[in-house]
Amino acid sequence: MRCFGDGDPLYEQYHDEEWGVPVRDERGLFERISLEAFQSGLAWITILRKREGFRRAFAGFDPGAVAAFGPKDVERLLADAEIVRNRAKIEATIANARATLALRETASPLEELVWSFAPPPRRARATTWGKIPSQTTESKALANALKAAGFRFVGPTTAYAAMQACGLVDDHLAGCIRIS
C-alpha cells in the first residue's frame, strides 16, 4: 500500500519516485519550495498536474533566470493558464529566486541552509496521517531562517511540506511500499 496517491498514475509516480527522496541541489530545492508555496490552500495533485507548466513558466526554476523577471513577466504569468495564477505567489517566487541568489554570497547557500534544519530520524513511523505533524520546531526555525533571508510564502507548514518533499523528514506511513 502507498501512503497516498493510489489510483492516479501521476500521484503514484510522485509518491513512488520523488516524495521523501533527498534533494540537495539549489535548483531542486528552489523548485520544491516554490511549488509548496503555490500549493498553499490547494490540493497537491493540482500542483502536480500543472508542474510542467510551472517549469516552462519559471524557466525550469533556474533561480538566476527567475530573479531577472520583472513586471512584464508577472503579467505574463498571471495570464498563463498552465500555472496557478496568484499574484502574491508569483511575486513571492521571484523574490525567493532573488533571495536564493543572495544566499549564494553567504556562508550558507540555500542547500546548506535548508539541510541545516533536518531533524533526527523519528523512532517509530506513524500509522495514520493524523499522527503526522503539519509543522515542527525545525520547520518553524527553517521558515524563520528563510524569511530572514528574504523568502516569502514560507510559513512553518509550507516549510514542513518542503521538508517532507525534499527528504529532510521521512513521513511514509508504517506499511507503505516505500519502506524496506
Q: Active site includes 160?
A: no
Q: Which region holds residue 20: left if phi is over 0, alpha if psi is between -120 and 50, else beta?
A: left
The catalytic residue among 11, 19, 26, 36 is 36
Residue 108 CB-density burial (10 A; 0-12 exposed, 13-18 middle, 19+ buried): middle
Q: Give the separation between CA 97 and CA 32, rounded to whole angstroms.
A: 12
Single-letter amino acid, residue 39: Q
Residue 140 CB-density burial (10 A; 0-12 exposed, 13-18 middle, 19+ buried): middle
All 3 cell numbers of residue 39?
500549493
All 3 cell numbers of residue 131?
499522527
The catalytic residue among 12, 44, 82, 91 is 44
Q: Active site includes 19?
A: no
Q: Cα dihedral sign for 66, 69, 73, 78?
A: positive
Q: Active site includes 44?
A: yes
Point out the residues that are catalytic: 14, 36, 44
